[in-house]
Amino acid sequence: MPTEKIAVIGAGIIGVTCAYELRHNGFDVVLIDPQDNEAAPSLKNAGALAYSEILPIASGSVLYKVPKWLADPRGPLSIRAGYLHKIIPWLTRFVLASNEKQVQATAKALAALNLLSRELCGSLYEAADISDAIKRAGALHLYESERERSVAMPGWRIRERNGIRFEHIDQSELRVREPALAAVFYGATLIEDWHLVSDPKDVLDALFCLGRESGVEFIRESVLDVNPSEEGVCLSFEGGAPAIRVGKALITAGAWSRILVDRLGDNIPVEAERGYNTTIVEPNVRINSELIFGEHGFVATQLDSGLRIGGAAEFAGLLGAPRYDRADAMLHKAMRFLPGLRTEHSTRWMGCRPSMPDSRPVIGPCAKTPNVLYAFGHGHTGLTQAPGTARLITDMLLGRQSMIDAQPFSPQRFN
Ligand SMILES: Cc1cc2nc3c(=O)[nH]c(=O)nc-3n(C[C@H](O)[C@H](O)[C@H](O)COP(=O)(O)OP(=O)(O)OC[C@H]3O[C@@H](n4cnc5c(N)ncnc54)[C@H](O)[C@@H]3O)c2cc1C
């Protein structure tokens, strides 16, 4: 029976899932979050349990599109002027991670983590009484031309080698499946094993409540400093609440983990990759699956709260003001692809993905001390990978053999 108290710092989807899993396995857990961060992506992401997303963003097919995307001021990728010099080390690692060997290794590691998460998700959501939040909607990667599809083919071959099932469909079948789409698409790739949640915020709230009901303590504060010693860890707070002492601390603060990690003197290149979306309450169109407009860097998903259209990647750090024209640009394109789309009743949002240059989350102990562990850096698939991440962390803390190899996610890979 574990006796140490564990502090979980950050109550996004990774933090709440880890807190519950640790408590469920007998740990004394305190979860800490100021709960005032509108840019936390766990609140308003696209809601996909995207188990087939195993390809790193850094890959040949993405690098091929980068110049075109960067040249378009309203395109899906941008680096804010004044931020380029800060992000050069991250970009260098990103380019290095795009070699064939790394891409294969990352795909294998993410396939294992996603599969583990898929296996655990059902019982986790059942425990939280949200089994009915999962919709087996499927996803369609859309292509406007034969050329676009052939550029995507190497990626599908990697997925196939890692056990992902999919089917290429032609224009006529696409029309039957998604009658609301304009007839500009050459075809699509269908992934049946792609689930959507009714709304990511509902899932986050339900898992937070599940943890609390199971005995997870909660402190509504922002952690200022994490001071490890041989006996444990001392945490101080920004709001001036008295510091607390725990046995171990787990940092799950998403993109904001960088601040705490830097203060610990560790070197983990997690970067804020901003994404934008618009949620439309009465869109006047209905889609059946998640629609992925890969060439344009955005997706459309039907959630309970409305039709959500978003994506994009903007590098501007944690603090720069949102540029909602990025959300508008995606919406305008969506209006072309979904004729009949009405946008009157809509809200725009910006969230900071915690992104690693090699697209692998960081799961494991800090290099400086075994009393601090990390679980952040899930980039585009944190909702999907939360159950597997929580299991890996729990296994590490219990000294239990994990069902998958955690080595590819080691924080030490950057040293
Ligand atoms: C537009 C968009 C669409 C996406 N779509 C999907 C999708 O469909 N499927 C999917 O799987 N993933 C998706 N993602 C990615 C996913 O949302 C993220 O990977 C995931 O939410 C990261 O969760 P997290 O818990 O690590 O971080 P966060 O959600 O950022 O949570 C971190 C928490 O830490 C807290 N915190 C920060 N600093 C401190 C501190 N010092 N002390 C205490 N607490 C602190 C914050 O308040 C916050 O609550 C999407 C992301 C974006 C931006």
Chain-centre distance for alpha carbon 262: 22
Place of tokens 């590691």: 109
Decide: 191 and 142 in contact? Cβ < 8 Å: no
Pick from 36, 42, 373, 393 the residue to mutate for probing ligand 1's pocket: most ligand atoms within 8 Å of its CB.
42
Q: Is the CB of 223 under 6 A from ligand 1?
A: yes
Fold of 5-414: FAD/NAD(P)-binding domain (3.50.50)
Return the DSSP state at 357. T
**What does the pLDDT profile of the chain (415 residues) look like in tens digits?**
677 899 999 999 999 999 999 999 999 999 999 999 999 999 999 999 999 999 999 877 777 778 888 888 778 889 988 898 999 999 999 989 999 999 999 999 999 999 999 999 999 999 999 999 999 999 999 999 999 999 999 999 999 999 999 999 999 999 999 999 999 999 999 999 999 999 999 999 999 999 999 999 999 999 999 999 989 999 999 988 999 999 999 999 999 999 999 999 999 999 999 999 999 999 999 999 999 999 999 999 999 999 999 999 999 999 989 999 999 999 999 999 999 999 998 999 999 999 999 999 999 999 989 999 999 999 999 999 999 999 999 999 999 999 999 999 999 999 8
Q: Is 196 exposed, middle or buried (0-12, 13-18, 19+ CB in 10 A)?
A: buried
Going from the C-alpha of 89 to that of each of 83, 93, 371, the distances in angstroms are 12, 6, 28
Pick from 291, 314, 380 the residue to mutate for probing ligand 1's pocket: most ligand atoms within 8 Å of its CB.
380
Q: Is the CB of 15 under 6 A from ligand 1?
A: yes
Q: Is the CB of 222 under 6 A from ligand 1?
A: yes
> What is the side-by-side order of every strand in the sheet holding 233-237?
223-228, 233-237, 244-246
> In the structure encoding, which two tokens stand for residue 324, read together?
């909602």
- Quote the CA–CA distance of 177 and 191 in Å, as a whole number: 13
Going from the C-alpha of 110 to that of each of 45, 230, 385, the distances in angstroms are 19, 33, 9
Decide: 7 and 28 in contact? Cβ < 8 Å: no
Per domain, the residue ranges of the chain are 5-414
Residue nearest to atom 19 of ligand 1 (CA): 382
3-class state of residue 325 by DSSP: helix
Centre of ligand 1 to C-alpha 318, Å, is 13
Q: Is the CB of 308 under 6 A from ligand 1?
A: no
- Quote the CA–CA distance of 404 and 153 in Å, as a whole number: 28
Return the DSSP state at 322. P
- Quote the CA–CA distance of 360 and 409 in Å, as a whole number: 6
Centre of ligand 1 to C-alpha 354, Å, is 7
